[in-house]
Amino acid sequence: MPELPEVEVVRRGLAHHVVGRTVSRAVLTGSRVARRHAAGPTDLTDRVVGARILAADRRGKYLWLVLEPPEDDILALVVHLGMSGQLLVQDAAAAPEKHLHARFDFTDGGPQLRFVDQRTFGGLALAELHADQRGAPDGVHVHGIPAPVLHIAPDPLEPAFDRAGTVRRMRSRDSEVKRVLLDQSVVSGIGNIYADEALWRAGVHGRRSASALTRPALARVLDHAAEVMREALGQGGTSFDALYVNVNGASGYFDRSLAVYGQTGRPCPRCGTPVLREQFMNRSSHFCPRCQPRPRVSR
């Protein structure tokens, strides 16, 4: 599932290729792509046509286009990428992808924007925008936050992120620190890959209780999360298969730089001890048993 760096790569592509353009036609295929839009697919396409795209925005793993419709208030087209959703900028004459679910044409006659989703867990929905109540400075999310995203905490790479406040919220949780990192209401954008990498860099086992860690230790985990996600962003994100790509269809290559995630049995880059894998929250956790000793009492 795409995490913050992968979504940010897509957002930047959208900002370059579609912001400032006006939608001339929208075509949705199948019923699932607009299932999150309560008014249905026809309402979505009717309200999108004629809208100018003002911005491509993101919080954590959540992505949206800010639309200025001709006869409506400013809206957000929220894009749920799910596990396999792709936003592609393609020539209108290009053959349709096998799992193409939506396509948007523009008044300038340039490339289409296409939504492709092999596993159909993703989708599109229109939502109202609300003022950001989490302390973002002027000019950030200037149009507001979509209603479905209001409960999501700022991520470590956005200006609204409050590191000290996040540390306090983490330390108040009597739960495993990895579980807290994955809680998008505490800190957003960190998924399984970057949680494992941040915890390894910080030398903290993911099953340590967040409440038992010191404030400096938790701050160190957050700093390493931001650090590793910036590095991944610089390499186009992490792609383990052809499902995650940027708007031009290219894969990221940060998987070559991963220290522990997906590295079961390989030597830890820091001490040489074989990396271990264990089940955690219906996922897999990867860690070095020497650099990240288990807590004495596992919860």
Residues with a known catalytic role: 2-3, 61, 283
Report the amino acid identity of residue 284.
S
